[in-house]
Amino acid sequence: MSLALPADLERAAAPDSGRFGILRQLLFGTPGSTIATGALALLAIAVTIGPLAWGKNPTTLNILNALQAPSWAHPMGTDENGRDVFARFLAGGWLSLIAALLVAVSAALVGGLLGVIAGFVGGIVDAVIGRFMDAILAFPALLLAVAVTVGLGAGVWTAALGILLGAIPWYALLLRSDTLRVRNRAYIEAARALGARRALLVRRHIIPHVMPTLLVQFAAVFGYAVLMLAGLGFIGLGAQPPTAEWGSMIAEGLQYTLTGQWWIGVFPGLGVFIAACATAVLADQMAKVLDPRRTEG
């Protein structure tokens, strides 16, 4: 007769604790997370396959069709240059979401690695990384992104780089804290005593424990990046004309909102709103389901 460990008993008592069960809790655990998951999935599908299915060029000018209200031919109307707003919404959404995704992934890789190294190695390495992260955080995130974009030239990718630099410390400091919490546990000391190398300790024992924090932060940074990219595009530091991007589209439509052509800026604004709110809801749900305190014991 085998001896059941506490972890085995916990899994047996909670059949929903497997990977698919946790994923279901993350995405569909509450009505809010279900709506957020559906909205984000629809938005991602639309901007991915929509441009091919719709077939209209987002940069084609047609002055004769300028400022047309939403119709069957143009579901989101046309802008001041006669360009199809729906085509520009899809193209701008793809650019915005891809850039935000790259920011979140890159910041997670760089910041997460720095945080784990700082927390696990400690000493002078921890001090140097910590001071470097503090130096970045001394600059307001928006001003840092603006400075990088102005210095390197306006564009969506230079804007993404500026946002990335500001997001790295968030990952680094959080994962450093989690690593410090885990590294002195008894089983880590036992593995060290048995001769386990640092790389093995990090891969087998540290990373699984800090992954919940990483995932929560990833969702939060993705939504933050969408908002920041739209903000930089709004002030003219994001994608440059004629490239479609949600922030610049909102800025273009602002001057026509008061004269009744509300659709030019409202639809891209809704895209930013949906993406940011959905990821915020999912980040909150992740924080509840993947609470790092569940790993303590």
**pLDDT tens, 68-117?**
999 998 999 999 999 999 999 999 999 999 999 999 999 999 999 999 99
Contacts 24+ apart (CB under 8 A), 139-144: 139/166, 141/166, 141/167, 141/228, 142/228, 142/231
Domain annotation covers residue 236: yes
The enclosing domain of 161 has a CATH number of 1.10.3720.10
Domain annotation covers residue 13: no
Q: What does DSSP assign to residue 78?
A: B
Q: For 225-262, how does the pLDDT look when each residue is reduced to its tens digit (9 = 90+)?
A: 999 999 999 999 988 888 899 999 999 898 888 888 89
pTM of the model: 0.85
Domain annotation covers residue 44: no
Q: What does DSSP assign to residue 258?
A: T
Domain annotation covers residue 205: no
285 contacts 26 by C-beta, under 8 angstroms = yes
Give how many domains the chain has, as a whole number: 1
Domain annotation covers residue 23: no
Domain annotation covers residue 253: yes
Taking residue 262's Cβ as centre, other Cβ atoms within 10 Å add up to: 16
Higher pLDDT, 263 or 205: 263
Q: Which range marks the domain in which residue 246 is found? A: 83-178+210-295
